[in-house]
Amino acid sequence: MPSSVLFEIMLIGLLGIGSQWAAWRYRMPAIVVMSIIGLLAGPILGLMDPEDDFGELYNPIISVAVAIILFEGSLNLSFKEIRGLGRPVFRISTIGAFLSWILGSLTAHYIADLSWAAAFVIGGLFIVTGPTVIMPLLRQSKLKPRPAKILKWEGIIVDPIGALLAVFAFEIISYLTAENPDGSALITFLAASVFAAILGWACGKGIGWMFEHGYMPEFLKSPAVFTVVIGCFTLADVIIHETGLLAVTAMGMTLANMGISSIADMRHFKENVSILLISAIFIMLTASLQVDTLLKVFDPNIMGYVLLMMFVVRPLSIFLSTIGTNLSINEKALLGWIAPRGVVALTVSGYFASILSEAGYVDASLITTITFALVFTTVVAHGFSIGWLARKLHLSLEGRPGTLIVGSNSFTVNLAQSLKKVNAPVMIVDSSWERLRKARAAGVPYFHGEMLSEQTEYQLDTNPYEYMIAATEYNSYNALVCTTFMPEFGRTNVFKVSPYRYDLHSMGDTVNKVAGRILFKKELSLDQLNHKLSNHYVFRQTSITNQYSYKQYLNDKDEHTVLLYVMKPSGHMRFYTEEIRVTPEAGDKLVSLTPPGKEIKKLRKRLANQKTDSGNKPVNDQEM
């Protein structure tokens, strides 16, 4: 097998993205899969050792990747998002972090038997959770918005604080244990932290100003942002190690709250880069661990420390810091349990292990082992339990995938009613109260607002909805909605009514290939669908069984019937489009828009009389 660095880079990419795909395919926590694959490829099978093979480039690569990930996460920290959550987020990020530091340090000293210096350093380090572990968990768990936002804000804000707290603890210990104490190092550290925050703010303001005033062409915006992020991180980090994380967090938050449209346009691109980096560095970090480090994990003191951190320190710090807030007991219980440690803890622990070792602390070698033990245990435990616990505490949005319909008219209202009858969540969004009158009269859930406005983004919770249908009378607007929300919902889950116009025999004013799959058939525009309803077409539900197959249904149906969607027993739907082939199976329910007439009566009579020899009930074919 080739042993070149190039081959190893290729292997890291394949294993990282392969782990992400396997986690998505089999509904497993991605960070758990990546950790296990990294251990298999590294210390267990010996396929690679990135730390040894990359040499001096290993730590800079990891550091830059963490900086980009943290910056990308902080771009989502708009202050508008935490309306009503400011107090819990502030308490957890300050009082909660401080309590976690003190309690964690005491636990490390008395249970893991670390010296006071190593204990307070590792205690500061372990207050972090971070976007590398929190974001994948939030994507998989479908938490309600409130606890999800708190976990996200805590993870991104506390990440640099934890690293700085570890540095601060080391500086304090060094000052107190020195023969000739000199407070200049502490003053330098505090000054460097303030400088890093100001530097990040200035970089964010500077690049935001350039974007707003047109001093940066579109094709250079993403490269320019990444270059400034790396420069901002490096400049701060050179002055005092780990202050670079504070700088990029400040830069991201500054840009997030400037309201620059081009930043929002680039966010999805940066999310993709972030996923690639998370996959790569998780594989690199776990593959670089040594076998003796893994074996030390089973030491009773280390195992006891990990259990106390999970079951005592974290819950206690959350419950004490949130006294007097409006968080419910269930929310506190979930927040008190979910605190997986990730990339920042693993990377920074290696730095402090070497620093403490050079300072003469013999227990410094245990820091890496304890860090890996806590990281791997929390990643596995919280990764597999967050969904189950959220459901038990009624904080999960689990259920049948819903459909968000943009545009209120006769067809969309009737479509929403049919979805309600198969117990699928549905919501109609429109900016016109007049158009929403039909939805209100039909008892269909609705939201009054402009789908593309920033206000709607913060007021409308889109988490319960897996599918989106743009069905207004404006074809260009439908295409724009699909393009905007395609990254959030996925290319295969965003649909639009056909822009086809019979009078022009064309696709109207919108190119067919613009984002959003065309529903049903390209000849069926919204006008045509509404026209069918005015001609007394009805929504009909047909059960596909072993006795009445899909092939039989196709042979029996009226030629003017419009096939709409198929509801699976699992609750997932398949909408009919010209690009996606839908083949219902036994147990599925097929919903169609069916014309009235004698043929339907014949079909219903035939279905009613069709029974098996065993006396099964007739196939269900009913009007909705």
Q: Are residues 331 and 387 in the same domain?
A: yes
Residue 120 in any domain: the answer is yes
Determine the Cα–Cα distance for residues 114 and 160; give it in Å rounded to an integer. 24
Strand pairing category for 465-470 and 589-594: unpaired
- Domains identified in the chain, total number: 3
- The pLDDT of residue 316 is above 90: yes
Domain boundary at 488, 523, 558, which?
A: 523
Question: What is the arithmetic mean of pLDDT over 507-522?
Answer: 63
Residue 26 in any domain: the answer is no
Q: Are residues 181 and 302 in the same domain?
A: yes
Question: What is the arithmetic mean of pLDDT over 469-480?
Answer: 84
pLDDT-based confidence at residue 509 (cuts at 50, 70, 90): very low
Residue 59 in any domain: the answer is no
The predicted-structure confidence for 532-579, as pLDDT tens digits, reads as follows: 888 888 888 888 888 888 888 888 777 788 888 888 887 778 888 877
Determine the Cα–Cα distance for residues 295 and 109; give it in Å rounded to an integer. 21
Q: Are residues 79 and 166 in the same domain?
A: yes
Query: 462 or 190, which is more confident?
Result: 190
Q: Are residues 73 and 172 in the same domain?
A: yes
* Amino acid in the structure at residue 306: V
pTM for the whole structure: 0.66
Q: ∠ CA 218-493-569 to the nearest 5 degrees?
A: 160
The predicted-structure confidence for 95-132, as pLDDT tens digits, reads as follows: 888 999 999 999 999 998 888 888 888 888 888 776 66
pLDDT-based confidence at residue 320 (cuts at 50, 70, 90): very high
Q: Are residues 86 and 162 in the same domain?
A: yes
Residue 7 in any domain: the answer is no
- The pLDDT of residue 498 is above 70: yes
* Amino acid in the structure at residue 504: L
- The pLDDT of residue 619 is above 60: no
- The pLDDT of residue 293 is above 80: no
Strand pairing category for 494-496 and 517-518: parallel
Here the tokens at position 341 are 């440690």
Range of the domain at 574: 536-624
Question: What is the arithmetic mean of pLDDT over 579-586?
Answer: 77
Determine the Cα–Cα distance for residues 538 and 417; give it in Å rounded to an integer. 12
Q: Quick one: pLDDT at residue 202?
A: 93
Q: ∠ CA 345-349-355 to the nearest 5 degrees?
A: 155
Query: 241 or 80, which is more confident?
Result: 241
Determine the Cα–Cα distance for residues 383 and 386; give it in Å rounded to an integer. 6
Residue 555 in any domain: the answer is yes
Q: Are residues 325 and 413 in the same domain?
A: no
β strands within 473-559, DSSP E: 494-496, 517-518, 538-543
Across all residues in the chain, what is the average pLDDT? 79
Closest CA to 193 of 235, 248, 156, 236: 236
Q: Are residues 513 and 595 in the same domain?
A: no
Q: Are residues 237 and 123 in the same domain?
A: yes
193-202, 320-329, 355-364, 611-620: the lowest-pLDDT one: 611-620
% residues pLDDT > 70 (the chain): 83
* Residue appearing with tokens 């190690």: 241
Q: Are residues 514 and 561 in the same domain?
A: no
CB atoms within 10 A of CB 79: 10
Q: Quick one: pLDDT at residue 287?
A: 86
Q: Quick one: pLDDT at residue 182?
A: 65
pLDDT-based confidence at residue 511 (cuts at 50, 70, 90): very low
Q: Are residues 516 and 549 in the same domain?
A: no
- The pLDDT of residue 620 is above 60: no
Q: Are residues 220 and 304 in the same domain?
A: yes
pLDDT-based confidence at residue 35 (cuts at 50, 70, 90): confident
Query: 58 or 618, which is more confident?
Result: 58
- The pLDDT of residue 522 is above 50: yes
User: Cα 28 to the chain's mean position, in Å?
Assistant: 14
pLDDT-based confidence at residue 319 (cuts at 50, 70, 90): very high
Cβ atoms of residues 405 and 438 within 8 Å: no
SS3 588: coil
pLDDT-based confidence at residue 501 (cuts at 50, 70, 90): low
- The pLDDT of residue 510 is above 60: no
Q: Quick one: pLDDT at residue 315?
A: 93
Query: 109 or 27, which is more confident?
Result: 109
SS3 232: helix
- The pLDDT of residue 617 is above 60: no
Cβ atoms of residues 99 and 160 within 8 Å: no
pLDDT-based confidence at residue 311 (cuts at 50, 70, 90): very high
83-92, 179-188, 383-392, 445-454: the lowest-pLDDT one: 179-188
Beta-bridge mates of residue 621:
542
Question: What is the arithmetic mean of pLDDT over 188-199?
Answer: 86
Residue 11 in any domain: the answer is no
% residues pLDDT > 90 (the chain): 7
Q: Are residues 552 and 517 in the same domain?
A: no
SS3 576: coil
Query: 10 or 421, which is more confident?
Result: 10
**C-alpha pair distances (Å), 587 with each of 544, 592, 620:** 6, 16, 11
Q: Quick one: pLDDT at residue 80?
A: 66
Q: Quick one: pLDDT at residue 111?
A: 92
Question: What is the arithmetic mean of pLDDT over 285-295?
Answer: 80
Domain boundary at 467, 493, 523, which?
A: 523
Phi, psi of 307 (to 5 degrees): -65, -40
Q: Which residues of 322-346 are buried (b: 16+ CB within 10 A; e: fewer)?
A: beebebeeebbbbbbbbbbbbbbbb
Residue 53 in any domain: the answer is no
161-175, 398-412, 463-477: the lowest-pLDDT one: 161-175
DSSP 50-115: HHHHHGGGHHHHHHHHHHHHHHHHHTT--GGGGTTTHHHHHHIIIIIHHHHHHHHHHHHHHTS---
Residue 174 in any domain: the answer is yes
